Structures are given as C-alpha cells and as structure tokens.
Amino acid sequence: MSPKNGKKSNKVMKSSSACDRHDYSYTQNRELSWLKFDNRVLDEAFDPAVPLFERLKFVSIFCSNLDEFFMVRVGGLSDLATLKRQPVDNKSNLTPAEQIARISSALPPLLQRAGTAFNDLEAQLSEHGVTRLDASTLSGEDRAFVEGYFHAYVSPIISPLVIDPRHPFPNLRNEALYLVCSLEGANESGLVGLIEVPASLPRVVSLPSVDGSYRYILLEDMILACMNTCFGMYEPQDRAVIRVIRNADIDPDGEGVEEDEDYRQHMKRILKKRLRLQPVCLTVRGELERPTLKLIRTALELPSYAVYPLDFPLDPGFVFGIEGHIPESERADLLFKPFTPQPDPAIDPDRALRDQVLEGDKLLFYPYESMNPLLDLVHQAANDEECISIRITLYRVAKQSRLCESLISAAENGKEVTVLMELRARFDEANNIAWAERLEEAGCTVIYGSEGFKCHSKICQITYRTGMAIERITLLGTGNFNEKTARLYSDFMLMTAHPGIGEDANAFFQNLALGNLNGDYRFLGVAPAGLKPLIMTGLNREIERARAGEPARVFFKLNSLTDREVIDKISEASQAGVRVEMIIRGISCLLPGIEGKTENVHIRSIVGRFLEHARVYAFGEHADTIYLSSADMMTRNTEHRVEIAYPLLDERVRAAVRGYMAAQLADNVKARELTPDGAWAHISAAQGEEPFNSQEYLLAEAYRDAAAVAHKPAGPRAAHTGADAVFNAAAATAVAPQPAAKPAASPVPSAATPAAAAAPSTTAPAPAPSPASAPATAPAPAPSPASAPVPAPSDEAAPDAQPVVPRIIEREPAHDPKARRGDAPGTVLALPRQGRVKTALALFSLGIKTLIAPKKR
C-alpha cells in the first residue's frame, strides 16, 4: 500500500469507528449551534419593540460574543487542526479542520447582517440627536476641531511605523486597533505604514454641538482623517482600520508551575503569554489594495478565509460609553426604562439576617430582587461575635466588591476566613489575582482550585457558635457572587440553615482544602464525581415510570447542552415516553422532534433584556425533585470542573421555582423553539392569546410585590420567600392539600400550555404565620417599568393537583438495598454507592481520559 493510500485508509477507518460509536441523527455540531445562538442575540437588534439604543447595544454584544468565540473555540480548533490525526467531534463526526471550514462559511452572512443593523440603527439615532462622524463626513468647523485635537493630544503619543525589508512586521496585540496604509515616496513604493490606536486616550471624542445633540468621532477615525501628516515624506494611499484576534485558549495547568513560583505569579506569566499566541482572525474596515492586505495576512500567517471585511466600526463596545451622553429629552424613547432590583418581601431589613434564615429558607431571584440580603448577611457575620468562620468559593467577582470588603473585615475582626479563588476564570484572571492578593494581605486564607479542575461552584458557608452549639448558614447560587452581574443576569441564590446541607457544605470545603474531588455527600451533587450520576439517576427514574405506564416528565433550564452521555440518556427517556422540556439559552447539540429518537423532547430559548443564567433540574410529573445548580450539561462542567447541584427542600421555595418554570414556558414574545433541522423558530401564539414576555412580567411582579409590602401596616412578615410572592399562584396550588383522584394535573404547565393558563396570577395566597418581627418601614419602590400584559386566568375551573412529595437524589446506604427503589414517601432516589477501589479506578480513568481526549472548551 502506498503512503498516500495508507493515509486515506486511516482516515476512513477513523470516521467509520466514530460512526459506529454514536448516532448523529439527533445531534448537531456545538460550534454551529453557538453561532445560531449569537444570531438570536442579533435578532434583538431588529426587534422594533426594543428601544433604539438598546438595539445598538445588542449588536455590540453580538460582536463581543464573537470575539470570545474566536479566541476560545476557533483558537482551540486551530490547534487541533494542525494534528496529523485529528479527533472527531462526537456530535457531528467532523474533524477540527472541517468544523473551521463550516464556521468560515457561516460567518460572512452573520457579519453582513450585523453591519446592516449597526448602520441602520446609527442612521435612526442621528434623528434623535446622537450622531457619529467619520473621516469622510468631516467639514468646516468639525474638521478644524478634529485637526486641532489630533495635533494637541494624539500626535505626540502615536508612533507611526514604516514596514520595509529593514523593518519587519511587528507583533500586533490581541484585540488592539491599528491603522494601516500603503505608502508612496519619491523613490520608493510598496511600503506599508502602521499606527496603533493608543489605548491610553479615550476612544470616543465629543464634538462641539450647539443644539443639545451629541456628536462624536472615534479616535481611529480621527487618526484616519489626519493620516497625511503622520508619515513625513511618505504619502498614504489606501487606508483601513484592522484588528487581530489571537488564540486565547491556553491551559494554565499545562504550562507547568515552577517549584519556587507562587501560583499567582504563574498566572500572570500565562496572561502575558496569551497576548502573543497565534492569530486566528483579522477584521478590516476600509479599503486596502490586494498587495497590502496580502502582506499583512502573510505576516500574521492567516489563510484568506480568516480575513473578514466589515463596514461598521471594529469592536463596537464603545456604544456602552456613549449611553450617558444621550440627550435627556430622548432617553425615554431610546433606552429601557430604568429599574432597581427590588427588596425581597420575605426579608425584614430591620432584623438580623441570621435569625431570618434560621427561621426558614430564603431564595433570592436576581436581577428582579436585590442581592443586598446576601451582602448584608456576610457583612453582619463579619461583625457578629458569635461568627467563627466564613468559607467561600469565588469564580468571578466585581472590581468594586462589597462582598470581598466584608470578607476582609471579617478577617481583620479575627474570624477564620477561607477563600477559594479560582484564578483560571477566563478573561477575569487579572481581577481575581488582584483580589486574591488583597484578601491574603488582610489575613484571609486563600487557596486555589485543583490542577485540571476549575472550581466553578458558587457556595458560601457561615458558621456560628452559640454556647456549645454550632449553627451553619449555607449560601448556594446558580450564578456568581458578583454585585455587577446580579443586576444583569437571571439567577437564584438559596440561603438555608438546613443541617443536612450544612454538613455537606462543611465536608465540601474540607475536601477542597485537601484536594479531594471525590467527597461523599447526601444532599449535594458535586462534580466531577457526583453530579452526572445524579442527573442520570433522575432520568432513569422517569424512564422507569414511563415504562410502567405512569406519567413521567423532566424539565431542564440550562445555558448549554453538549455532554454526549446526557444527550443519549435524554433520547432514551424520550423513546420511553418521558416528556422532556428544556429551556436552553445557548448551545444545544441535541435536536428535538427526530422520529424514533427525540419526539418527546421540546427545546426553547429565551434571549431578552436580562441574560438567562439560572440552571434548574426538575424531575417528575409534578416536579417533586428540583435541583438548582451552577453547572450546565457540558462535559467540561460534568467531568472537568468542581460544580454543585443542590436540592430545594422548602415547600414554598420549590413552589416558587415551579412558578418560574411556568412563566418561562409561557413566554411567546422572546422565546424561540428549536426545530428538528436545528433552526430557531418563533413561538406561535394561540388564537386569542395575548403576548407574554416572561422577563417583563417577572420584573413588573417584583415591583408590584415590593409596593404591596411597602404599603402594608408594620408587623410580622409572612414566612415565605420573596420569589414565592412573585409566583404566588403556583405556590398556592403546590402547598394546598388536594385529592389524589386526578393525576393528570400538574403545577408546572407544558410548553404547549397557553400562556393564559400557565402564567401565575397576581393574587397572593394567604401568608403563613411567622414569628413576631420588629416593625419595618420599607421605602416606596420606584415606579414599575412597563411590562407585558398579565394573562387573564382561564374561565374553566382549575383541575385538582396531586400533592407533591419532595425528594432528593442521594447515594444508597450500603445496608439498605431497598432504598435503591426510591419509593418511600419523602425519601430518596438512590445512587449506587461505589467502594473505594471502584471510586479510585473511576477517578484514575477520568484522569487518563483528560490526558488523551481532545481539550473541551
């Protein structure tokens, strides 16, 4: 056999082997699915119901998402594409090189669509007094101002370069803007001029205005307008703005830490190295002659398909900076109505948070409700003489973090403060390094995640000693302990004093300190060892129910679904007759509605004003088992990170989340449905059904709820969660005792349920009595923002609902084999317990898999 034929044969054998392992009829490629998600973000720029300037911001978000996609996903694929034997994607049977080719062909229409949106929106904004000028539109006084500003502030600090055989092409920094042109001299031609746009100057330069409008020019356009004076005896010809995106997919653990090197110093070294990794993309705005563009592309070692011409500003992130300059008279028309996260109505601001959490679980729901109760609890603990320790994991924190300042105060007050700071949180490494140094200087014990396993869990535990008794309050979130994102991302934060969860959390922190990733937990599902088995066990239970002829249902709320084992188990559940409903904001490698494979799977996506970030796993026709989690169903989360899924054990908290599920499934404005061919289709409203925007509804409900509490006479507060008040109808249905004669009814409507029947009503249930509390006078909330109409209740009598028996999924006690069945009321769904030898072998296998498998991004 010739070498050439041998290579062909190997490739065929590899593809054949991959096909034998997986069924690709109901899956799609991860990268192409992500591009469809980013196109959904861009859809918001074309939605006339979204205020004009907010639509421009969605174009910026689209571009920012795309930059990160290139740096991480395309960067990683580019590395793999250089291998002689390329790994094959287990959802699409494509090699990295084939995936890059598909991406490259899918991108130009998306970029063209983004350019159309940006330019059209800028033209409309000009009619509202917000105008951007460029080099081609300058004249008269505007040109005089620009030239004066350039010579006074810009020219002294720029360093124009002439590229010729004596001056090789310089290194172009990742994401930096450069001006490039061809140059002609008296006796020389074919030269290239290059100017880096200085990052030390503001990118947006305001222009004089006499009519109250806001006019501005970008710094790169100002330099373009004055470029003729930059190169001395050389005359610029063609000219353009360029921007290079480099591979940022570098593995900090793969670089090796020196024995005498502090881990923070190691990460700083990694960040510097990332700036000079291989380019993966070049964007160009302007006109360049082919020889000039070829010289740049060749110097960067980029193929022609990696060069993307754009007709709108590169890196449009500047639009967020001009929001504050919008004329006051136009703000109401151009921006979303301002909102303030509302106080949780179940929390009395005049009482100690510790006492209130000890009385019952509290569930905060960002951004509709404020993060302040959590921040107040940590602050109060820092100054509480009975608080002896605070332990917390931090993945992404705000640059100005009240939470971290409280941790510093606690350490200075003599508390034992332990912080696991994840320095490998991509693109937040520098901020995390800075906070780690400050926390350590204040006396906190700062530890870092295990090698090869990022700690992505969001957990905090506060421990108190009262006499000889120990009390623990555990905080568990679906999103970060971050004051900034808590105003932008939709997330849950559970505050609980449940002793079982407290014991598990205590064991979790002890295991983290020891580097033990295989802890034994009863209530928590902890990756990399225990989270996926929890999901599989929940799915298996529903499969058994369906095969026994019983109602069976699963609900997942995720950011992404890529884990092949979970995907195959969901397909198995669908084939068994389990109804699987999912709301997936981003990537879905699973295709619904495929005959014989996923007919019972229904997938929706919601993209709107707030970033949907909460993860919910619910099992059962009546969602008797509900977990919240920090983890998506991605292999990186289930096998290569430290994640936590935690059960909801309080009845009203569980009912509140069921109400949240109902509101999301009722959305017919921002929701889209995934079709069997991988496209996202608009949800068709039923005849007579009013538009229902779940995010607007939840925001309006938070305002109404806060207003109701503010106008209530001072006195005891109901012992229920704030989120429960938002979803009061679902809570009332769930907690009311009902006869068992009608098993078909469910407190969580299906995706096919009309919005009018699915949405919670505005009538609150009678509050449960609570211990007396100090009188509280809450401030009157700001006016409620405009919201979607609240659907009217159905004229038909609501069917009776089955009593919901809460369950958790836990490991089976070795002495009680019957617990595996999970049929005792209010008990457990059992996971098989492994012996130490099996556990060690499983972890060893996982480590080997990590070494030999393609990197997951």
Kindly list the catalytic residues. 456
Cβ 638 vs Cβ 527: under 8 Å: yes
Write the CB contacts of 330 (distance below 8 Å, at least 6 apart in sequence).
128, 129, 130
| C-alpha to C-alpha distance for 740 and 622, rounded to whole angstroms | 12
| C-alpha to C-alpha distance for 531 and 53, rounded to whole angstroms | 42
567 closest CA partner among 490, 635, 478: 635
Structure tokens of 364? Answer: 């905060």
Cβ 579 vs Cβ 750: under 8 Å: yes
Are β-strands 644-647 and 625-629 bridged in parallel, bridged antiparallel, or unpaired?
antiparallel
| C-alpha to C-alpha distance for 569 and 561, rounded to whole angstroms | 12
Structure tokens of 572? Answer: 């198995």
Structure tokens of 644? Answer: 């936590």
Residue 490 CB neighbour total at 10 angstroms: 26
Q: What is the sign, positive or negative, of the torsion defined by CA atoms of 434, 436, 439, 441? A: negative
Are β-strands 553-558 and 615-619 bridged in parallel, bridged antiparallel, or unpaired?
antiparallel
Stretch (H or E) spanning 441? helix 429-441
Stretch (H or E) spanning 838? helix 836-852
Cβ 640 vs Cβ 854: under 8 Å: no
Write the CB contacts of 318 (distance below 8 Å, at least 6 apart in sequence).
203, 204, 218
DSSP 212: S
Stretch (H or E) spanning 567? helix 564-576
| C-alpha to C-alpha distance for 715 and 778, rounded to whole angstroms | 12
Residue 783 CB neighbour total at 10 angstroms: 11
Angle (nearest 5°) at CA 259 between 253 and 262: 70
Phi, psi of 762 (to 5 degrees): -100, 10
Residue with tokens 């009722």: 666
| C-alpha to C-alpha distance for 205 and 210, rounded to whole angstroms | 16
Cβ 750 vs Cβ 390: under 8 Å: no
631 closest CA partner among 476, 495, 519, 500: 476
Number of Cα atoms under 13 Å in the Cβ half of residue 392 = 28
707 closest CA partner among 342, 336, 340, 341: 342
